[in-house]
Structures are given as C-alpha cells and as structure tokens.
Structure 1
Amino acid sequence: MLNLQLITKELGINQADFARQLKVSTATVSLIFKHNRWPVKTGMEFRLKRAATDILLQRGVDPDRVKTAFEECAGQRANAAQLTEANASTPSPQTTLSNRLKDEDMLLRKHTITQDARDYFALPRDPFTNEMRGVADVFLNDNIRKVRAAVRNVAEHGGMLAVIAESGAGKSTVRKDLAKWIQGQQKSIVVIEPGIEGLDNQDRKSRPLKASDLVEIIITTVTPGAAIRQSYQARLNQMRDALRASASAGNKHVMVIEEAHRLATQTLKHLKNFYEMDDGAFTPLLAIILIGQTELDWKLDEKSFEVREVVQRCEKRFIEPLDNDVEAYLRHKFARVDGDFDKVFAADAAEAIVARLRVSVETKIRGQRSLGPRSLCYPLAINNLVSGAMNLAHQGGEEHVTAKLVAQVGREE
C-alpha cells in the first residue's frame, strides 16, 4: 500500500473522488493505492503522479510529506526488502526500469570535448559548445523545417501554437531562430516573452504565473514606461488599447512562452481571452506560441474539460528525435566548425549512437509484460555522447570514434 492512500484518507478524499480528480477509473486508483501499479500507457505514470502531487499541495499537505506519497508504507517496505533478498537472482521489472533510468541520466550528463581531443581530431573549436551563432548553425530536417515554418507563420499571421519536445531537443533554438528571422527579415513583429522564473507552478517557493502577470508584461513590452493602471479591468483595457495602437502603427504581436509546461491550468485557460482580442474588426491582435516539454501535451489534452476551449484553438507541433538523421546532424555540426566528419567517425558510429540513445522500459502488470521503447536521440544527448566518445578515442589512441567507443561512454567511470 502506498503512503498516498493514507494521505488521501486523512484528507477525507475517497477513492472515487480522487479518481475523478485524476480523470481515471476508480479501479485504476485502487491498483495504484494497493499495489503501486500504474497505467502502462507512455507518460501516464508521470502525468498522474504530477496531478496527484498538485492535489496534495493544494490541500495543504506538507511538501516533505508529499515527496513520500509514492513510497510504500513502512511495514510493506520491510516485507518488500525481505522478498527482494530472497529473490535477488531474479531482477524485477522495477529493477530493470531503475537501471534504465540510471543509464538515461548518464547519457544526459554533460560531456565536453577536451582541448587535447580537439587537437587530436584537428577541430578549430568545439562543435557542441556555444556553437549556435546564427540561423545557418541550425540543423534542419523535414520535421524541424515544418516546426520552424509553423512558428514563423503564427508569428506573422496569427494563431496559437504549442511546440512540444523532450528536454534537450532544441526548444530554445526554435525561439532564437524566430528572433533571428524577425530581425533578419526586418519584420514589424513585436515579440513578448514572459519570463517564468520565480513564477513556477511546481516550485513551492514560487507562485504560478497568472493572467494578470501576462497583462502587465504585454503592456510594458508594447508601451515601455507606461504607468500600469490600478484595477485589473482597467489594465485589461489598457492592454487592449496598447495593442490596437501598436497594430494601427503597422506592428504585429506574438507572445512566446518558454517552459510553458510549468504554467498553471488556470493560466492556460485565460489564453483563450488573449487569443480572441482583435482590432475591433477581424484582425487578431496577439499570436501565442507555447514552448514546453511533453507535460505540455498532457496539459493540453483534448479530453481535459478545464482547457478544452484553448485546445480547440491551439495547433500542436512536436520536435521528433533524430533517429534517421544522426549522421546528417553530425556532418552539419562539424562542417560549421570546419571539421571533417569522415576523419572523426567510423562507418558504424552513427548507427551505434541511435542504438545507445534508445531506452526500453519494461513493466509487468497482472502477468502481462509491456515493452515501450523511448528514443533520447535529441541534440543535447547526441552532443554529450559524441563528446564522451571523442575523449575516449583520444585517450586510447583510436583513429576514429567507433561503435565500441560509443557503447563505452559513461561505463568506464
């Protein structure tokens, strides 16, 4: 039994009520409470844990206790420890998952090419550190071109767009690319960028970013130095008037929110009101681009009653892993620093990188095994893995980065 069941019971929340708040069946909650069995659908366990955490924190449960909610009760942990010792020779699915996650953490750990390794491979500079200096440095495949085109289209012509990707996939690059494009094309587009630092929905030391914060940020960006009016309704009118005046002067406006997966649901709901502002006729005043991790996709679930009006108006674009484009990506990166890809990598290296960055998570519920692959083949992970492999090649006096060296990164420590 999980501590979560005890905590909800103390709060007076029965299983049926908790299931409704999580938007799952009572049977699902029962399996979670009693047996720590979570839905096997990709991302569901993470989403449900985050939603449950939010519910407990909103009910005033001490954050330190919330951290223990997904652990088994003390007596059950002792029994589990005895059982594990008795069956140590047979690893459980949970053990497999734990090992996989440790491996994933290793892959995402920062590796930097040493100066000696750069000299060894005749690289003038590191292709993975401070390398994004202009639009030409952005690697493009079909997926990234479509995402970039969608971002530019919304900025120029209006709309609401969510760009969703895993950590390290290049979400910040999308924002920087937009800024460079606006500057280079001399577009009359005012970019409004609310900083989410200190306004985090998940950090207990912070407070959620509210619609009122967005109103003030829009006013101060469009009309710098303007005195903010006192009442919220007056500020709404001030924001609309400022946007209309700016639009009359020939400007367009786009609000770009990075780390949008950290926005509170209540704030997401208000985006509909911002999106529907117009010039008094048919021309919208504010385009909206949300950039966030996969949790943003869950928050913008079309089945969610709370945000359905936003979801109906919001297009989603996903940055996909580079499984089929690893060699093209690396050739691009090395060419940008006057490096020679073929002098660094063996023929089997690219395929080995894809294999190394694919994690298979295995779970077992009611005797049914489920195997779900997950690719980590995004720029940040590729950069770290290749940097580590190049350091190993230098240390071992190898002529090229080979599949064997790629497989060895992190495991030599």
Structure 2
Amino acid sequence: MSKFKKLLDEHSISQTWVAKKMDVSPATINLVVKHGKYPKKNAARLKQQFIDLLVSKGLAESEILTVMDAAAISSENDQASETESAAPAPQEEEQLMLLRKQTLTPAAKKKFALFKNIFTESIRSSSELYNDSDINYVREAMWQCAKGNTSFIAVVGQSGAGKTTLREELHDRIEREREAVVVIEPYVLATEDNDAKGKTLKSLHIAEAILSALAPSTNAKRSPEARFRQIHNLLKESCRAGHHHLLIIEEAHSLPIPTLKHLKRFLELKNSFTPLLSIILIGQDELKIKLAENNQEVREVVQRCEIVTLEPFTHTTLVDYLQHRCKAADRKLSDFIDESGIDAICAKLTRNVGRKNQNESLLYPLAVGNLITGAMNVAAELGADVITHDLVMEV
C-alpha cells in the first residue's frame, strides 16, 4: 500500500469521495494516489485542488506534499525496473480535439456550387434521417419506450452524435402514426447537477411538468404530498382515456443523484397493474458514469434502466452517411471528396489509446460535418477540385 493511500485511510477519506468533490473520475484519483500521475491537462491546478481539499479535512500541507512526492518517486522507480521488452506504462493521453463550428466561405460555396451546407444543416423531415443498424436500434428502443412496451432507457452519446435529432424524430413519428402518447418534457435550461453551477432539476419540477402537460389550467397543490397525489390521479384519468405517458429528460447527465433516485418512484406510479409513465433520459457519456453498476447511490435505478448507446460511424457507415446527405441535395459524394479524403477523416477523428489499443472515435455527424466544411474551405482557397487526404489534414 502506498504512503498516500495509507494516509487517506488513516483519516477515513475515500478516493471515491475525493473524485466527486473534485469532479473527476475515480480512475484519475487512483493514478494520483498510487503513482503520482496527473492528467497532462491542468495538472498543476488539479494537484493544488487535491491539496486544498485534504487541508480542509484537517491534514497538514507538508504531510500531503511528502506522500505525493513519495508516490511520484515510487512510480519512477517501478518504471526504471521494468524490462526493456515490457511496454512502459503510458501517460494519460490528451483527448481527441473537437473542431469548433465551421462555416462555408463564399469561395467554397462558389467552388462546390452549394448555397447551403448539406453536411451540417439540420434535417427537415423523417425522410432525411440517415439510418444504419446502430441508429435504428436506438430509434426503435425509444419508440418501444414511447408505446409503453419498455419503461426506462437512457440514450447516451457524445456531443453531436445525433441524440436530439432522434428525439425530434420520435416526436414526428408519434404524430405520423397517431400514437396515443402524451410527451412530457421538463425544461432543462441552465440545469446542472448542483446548485453552485446552475439550477438542479428536482422531482417537484418534474411533477409540475406532468401537471402542465395533462391539465395546464389546473393549479398545483401547495404541499408536495398533495401535489404528487394530484399528478397520480391525473395520470390515472389520462390512462383510462387511452393515453400512455412518456417523460423525456434532455441533458440528463446534469441530473443530480437524488433526482435520478426519485425517477424510480415515478416509474412505480400505476393504475392497477398498468404503468402510467415511461422515461427516456438523453445525455452525454457522463450519464453512463452516473449510472455505473458500481455506483451504490443509484443501484435501484441502475437495475431498472437500460443504457442505449449511439455508436460512432465506421468507415463503411461514414461513406453511407455522406452519400445519404449528398443524395438529399441531388449531388454525388465524388463531387466533394475522394477516397483518400474519407480515409483521412477516419484517421483524424479516430485513434487507438491505452495498453489495449481501445478505440476512441469522434466519427459523429457534427464532428464529420465540421471537418468536411473546413476541408472545403481549404480546397477553395488552394483551388483544388475535391477534398483530398492532404486537405483534410490541413484543417
């Protein structure tokens, strides 16, 4: 056991608690405690934050610095003793960089005969939605939840993966197929998982959203007990009229733990044996961390919630996606990019990291669209006919 770990144990300070207080992953804290390793980004700030937190728990700063230095020295000695054939422990690598919003220049619009950017504009109808096996799986999971065949799912994906687009398509599909579903969406503007950063979404706010959807002209009861009884009765009446109810919460990675725990109680609202409410949480990868199996705080939710992940494109599905976007504008993909350019997009937005060469990919619609837009701007500036490998790597 390292001296740092021993010091924390002596003062009954868990690494999980430290990770939550510092808003980092437990794995990051474990690397610091065992090996004295910090992420490359903001290492000095993280170290000082750790020191300040431990000082606030009554530890002396000199004692903290001593065990921190000991952890770093021990790690260096361990690395020096490794055989030449053994792979050295890699430092934590920087994340793949997301390209900021790109806009077509007038020169690029003229060069490629585009008056609107077909690679980044939002879709306007369900016919424009690109579908592959992964997207269809998520789409169908959301549809079954809307119909009440499943009760609780969490749709997880990186920024720009298309989560909001699928939510909009679900609304459209409910209307197209005239499904008797009442969609309830609490407003999540400025919501955060703690009140220091913004405003937390609480169970009372969800109850108000249900009341507003089912009986907008009815005043909410003042006491929480009466208010929840009120919405339970309204849900029962709506169910008897033939409706199912779907609660959709966007930006669910910002939900505080207590609200996540309370969602189980909303699921338990029934009319006899008939569930009155289904729930879809939509959020980024942080939501998957909050719903991890080893998080005992939300164990009752974890056992009831199915996590559905929006996967990144593969090389094949990327080509299909780009061809789909071009077809919607009656154009060909070869008018914009050649095969080497597509290979370059995959290379620029994908890499293998860690000892096990785990795949890290940002091949999502938004990132791909921004990269192609930037490459078209470079092509127009240099007078190239189409996007090539070298032009993509210049962005």
What range is the shorter-chain TM-score in? 0.7 to 0.9
Q: Does 1:408 align with 2:384?
A: no
In the other structure, the counterpart of 2:306 is: 315
What's the counterpart of residue 334 of structure 1?
326
Q: Which amino acid aligns with 1:221?
A: A
CA distance in 2, matches of 1:150, 1:113: 36
- Alignment CA distance shift 1:28-1:345 (3 Å): closer
Counterpart in the other structure of 1:262: 254
Aligned partner of 1:213: which letter? H
Partner in structure 1 of residue 32 of structure 2:
32
Q: Could you tell which deviates more after superposition, 253-262 or 198-207? A: 198-207
Q: 1:345 to 1:23 in 2, by over 3 A?
A: closer
- For residue 125 of structure 1, give the secondary structure of its aligned residue in structure 2: coil
Asked whether 1:222 is paired with 2:218, we answer no
> What does 1:125-136 correspond to in 2, within 5 Å?
125-136=116-127
Give the TM-score taking structure 2 as reference length.
0.79
The superposition leaves residues 329-384 of structure 1 with CA deviations (integer Å, 9 ceiling, x where unpaired) of: 1111111122221221112222221111014445xxxxxx6654411111111001
Map of 1:277 onto structure 2: 269
- State the match for 2:286 in structure 1: 295
CA 1:150–1:261: 2 relative to 1, 3 Å: same
1:313 to 1:111, Cα distance in 2 relative to 1, 3 A: same
Q: Distance in 1 between matches of 2:327 and 2:384?
A: 22
Corresponding residue of 2:168: 176
Distance 1:201 1:36 in 2: 29
What are structure 2's unaligned runs of at least 5 residues? 21-25, 40-45, 58-64, 74-88
Distance between the aligned counterparts of 1:203 and 1:110, measured in 2?
A: 30
Q: 1:211 aligns with which of 200, 203, 215?
A: 203
The residue type paired with residue 32 of structure 1 is V
1:379 and 2:365 are equivalent in the alignment? yes
**Contact 1:358 1:375 (C-alpha < 8 Å) held by counterparts:** yes
Deviations 1:255-287 (A, max 9, x none): 0001101101111001111111111x2211111
Rounded to whole Å, the distance in 2 between the matches of 1:359 and 1:293 is 20
Identical-residue share of aligned pairs (%):
37
Q: Which amino acid aligns with 2:133?
A: D
* Structure 2 partner of 1:306: 297
**Residues 28, 162 of structure 1: CA spacing in aligned structure 2 closer, same or farther, 3 A cutoff?**
closer
For residues 308 and 38 of structure 1, the distance between their equivalents in structure 2, rounded to whole angstroms, comes to 30
Q: Distance in 2 between matches of 1:113 and 1:203?
A: 39
Q: 1:146-185 residue pairs with structure 2 within 5 A? A: 146-158=137-149, 159-185=151-177
SS of residue in 2 equivalent to 1:108: coil
**Could you tell me whether the CA contact under 8 Å between 2:208 and 2:220 is conserved in 1?**
yes
- Matches of 1:205 and 1:307 in 2, distance apart? 22
Question: Is the CA contact 1:302–1:308 (under 8 Å) kept in the aligned structure 2?
Answer: yes
One-letter amino acid of the structure 2 residue matched with residue 265 of structure 1: I
**CA–CA distance in structure 1, aligned partners of residues 214 and 184 of structure 2:** 8
For 2:296, what is the secondary structure of its paired residue?
Answer: coil
Task: Give the SS at the match of 1:400.
Answer: coil
Q: Structure 1, unaligned stretches of length 5 or more? A: 40-48, 62-71, 81-91, 363-368
Residue by residue, what CA displacement relative to the aligned partner does 1:99-123 show, whole Å, maximum 9, x if unpaired? xx4xx33x42111222331221123
Deviations 1:114-168 (A, max 9, x none): 2331221123421134331111121111000010001001001241011011111
Aligned length: 352
